[in-house]
Amino acid sequence: MVSHNTRLAWAMLSLFEYTFRTRSWPTWARYAATCAIVVAILLVRLALQAQFPGSPFLLFMLAVILCSALFNHGCGIFSVLLSAALAKWFLIEPKGSLGVHSMGDIFGLSFFIAIGLITATILEALHRVASDLIDANQQLIASEADKDLLLREASHRYKNELSIITALLHLQERTLKDESARTALAATAERIRVLGRAHERLQRSEASAVVDTSEFIAALCDDLRAALIGCDGTSYR
């Protein structure tokens, strides 16, 4: 059963992948969406004014995080400045003005702007690191695919070489009149065929790279027993 942390991780990954789409929006669309998010937060804050008369900047941090994550560093900085201006105009006395007269309000406004800018910078740095990790992972996947292709090609050539050697030994066997020499060549060809079958069983399939040891050893023993028959006419057990 999937754990809560796993589901949360997948949700965060899906959200992060979605940010690549929003960050590719045109500039005007990103900044228009930033304005819409900040204004929406302002409307929510005004609706909750009676329940939360203090902390005018608290909800605006959500707008900063959203804009910084969904868009880019510039939109994050813009959301900080727009949030500060709207909070001062609508929530801090004297309302309807950008002037600040109280030292407490000056400190709160300065603190919000500083924290907002730091948050936007951190989120942008995290997005760049994650983007670099995704690029590196894609390069590793491509490299793994190239390596598998080369490995399959080398394996195919190896099997072909063994088949050619086996065929040449059989051809040479037919030209000999000495029965002992023919028997030796036939046994050699059979052992090379066993080597090719063992290599084929050890090949990694697309579904799995795990080899069933008991099945592999049993099949190898059967092949070796069949190859040893004919060396002196005796079946080895």
Instruction: Write out the two tokens for 97.
Output: 């003005």
Query: For position 162, what pLDDT does the model report?
Result: 81
- In terms of Cβ atoms closer than 10 Å to its own Cβ (0-12, 13-18, 19+), residue 49 is exposed
Q: Helices 179-202 and 213-228: crossing angle, nearest 10°?
A: 170
Residue 157 has a CB neighbour count (10 Å cut-off) of 10
* DSSP secondary structure code for residue 25 in this structure: S
Residues of the chain with pLDDT under 70: 1-16, 199, 201-212, 216, 219-220, 223-237
End-to-end Cα, the chain, rounded Å:
49
List of residues 6+ apart from 62 with CB closer than 8 A: 41
Query: For position 185, what pLDDT does the model report?
Result: 80
Cα separation, 75 vs 39, in Å, equals 14
Residue 140 has a CB neighbour count (10 Å cut-off) of 10
Q: What is the pLDDT of residues 146-189, one digit of tens each?
A: 777 787 788 778 778 888 888 888 888 788 877 888 888 877 88
Query: For position 225, what pLDDT does the model report?
Result: 67
Residue 3, SS3? coil
Query: For position 235, what pLDDT does the model report?
Result: 39
Burial of 173-195, coded b for 16+ CB within 10 Å and e otherwise, reads: beeeeeeeeebbbbbbbbbbbbb
Query: For position 36, what pLDDT does the model report?
Result: 96
Q: Helices 60-70 and 73-91: crossing angle, nearest 10°?
A: 160
